[in-house]
Amino acid sequence: MIGVPDPLCLLTVHAHPDDESSKGAGSVALYHAQGAHTVLVCCTGGEEGEVLNPALDTPEVHARLADLRREELAEAARVIGYDEVVMLGYRDSGMAGSEANANPASFARAPVEEAVERLVAIVRRSRPQVMVVYGDEQSGYPHPDHLRVHEIGVLAFRAAGDPERFPGSGSPWQPSKLYYTEFSVARFREVHQKFEELGLESPFDAEWRKRWEEVTPPVVTTSVDVSEFADIRSRALLAHATQVDPNSPFWFGLPPEVMRTIHPYDDYRLALVAGPDGSIVPPEPDAGGDGPVETDLFAGIRPAESISGEAG
Ligand SMILES: [Zn+2]
């Protein structure tokens, strides 16, 4: 519908090193394998992260944590198949209410226009057809940096193609689609059930499960089959050795061959679509009302015959 651009490019925006591994790693691996250029924008250095791997909780590790997190990110990006990692250059703002919130170098304290301009410059240089950011509903994990990713992601998507915005930051380029990466409640339920079936102790206690029942499940418009890349997330998470306990039942409690079979999809919500007339609007509501209508983030951008299982 928009012609066939060459090459395909996918740009994702994440808040901290390790977010790129826990969210959407399988789909990035898939698109990289299909030949798309994959760009990760990481907004902060993760300086406020704690050492969550008991084996690495040593003074030496704490002393070089910022460097280690950069190295871990590079390794995770290699595992996933990101062609480029671009740091937006802000400091981790820490969890809401923590002292780090007040640091003037923090992402949450940065002037919005400045952060948007930095992201617009990266978008204009990379020329992605598809951008992925976080959604507006983050009540389950309201980290200031994650909220900021949503805010600047939407603004940059709207500004990148506008010649009047940030004229000193590259030639205008309008990505076609903006997606939100979504957490799958269905996936958690299935993981919990598997623990019970196998007689293992589930890391999802009653408190967790109560939250699932109360939470309004996110709107998922797009489910990407990542079954061929189902181990990528675990492998990428393990690259963040200081941040991830390899014995964590939350991530690694089920045998890999079982884990691989559970909801092998990355779920997304299509949030904004850029039209040929310059409009930037939410997608047409799904006529059927229920369930994912797309199986490919590049649906409508590349020829349909190159997409398997297209449902739209
Ligand atoms: Zn994060």
Is residue 234 predicted with pLDDT exceeding 60? Answer: yes
In three-state secondary structure terms, 9 is strand
Residue 226 Cα to ligand 1 midpoint, Å, equals: 22
pLDDT at 312: 35
Residue 19 Cα to ligand 1 midpoint, Å, equals: 5
The residues facing 181 across adjacent strands are 134, 268
Residue for token pair 């990101």: 82
Q: Cα dihedral sign for 115, 121, 124, 126?
A: negative
C-beta neighbour count of 137 within 10 angstroms:
15
Residues in the chain: 312
Cα end-to-end span (Å), the chain: 14
pTM over 0.95: no
Mean pLDDT of 270-295: 82
Phi, psi dihedrals of residue 5, rounded to the nearest 5°: -75, 155
Distance between CA atoms of residues 155 and 116, nearest Å: 7
C-beta neighbour count of 160 within 10 angstroms:
27
pLDDT digits (tens, 9 = 90+) for 135-153: 998 877 889 999 999 999 9
The tokens describing 291, both together, are 């369930």
In three-state secondary structure terms, 56 is helix
Question: Highest-confidence range of 191-195, 211-215, 248-252, by mean pLDDT?
Answer: 191-195
**Mean pLDDT value across the chain:** 90
C-beta neighbour count of 280 within 10 angstroms:
16
Residue 270 Cα to ligand 1 midpoint, Å, equals: 21
pLDDT at 67: 92
- pLDDT band at residue 212 using 50, 70 and 90 as cut-offs: confident
Is residue 2 predicted with pLDDT exceeding 50? Answer: no
Residue 95 Cα to ligand 1 midpoint, Å, equals: 9
Distance between CA atoms of residues 185 and 220, nearest Å: 11
pLDDT digits (tens, 9 = 90+) for 72-94: 999 999 999 999 999 999 999 99
Distance between CA atoms of residues 225 and 293, nearest Å: 13
Residue 306 Cα to ligand 1 midpoint, Å, equals: 34
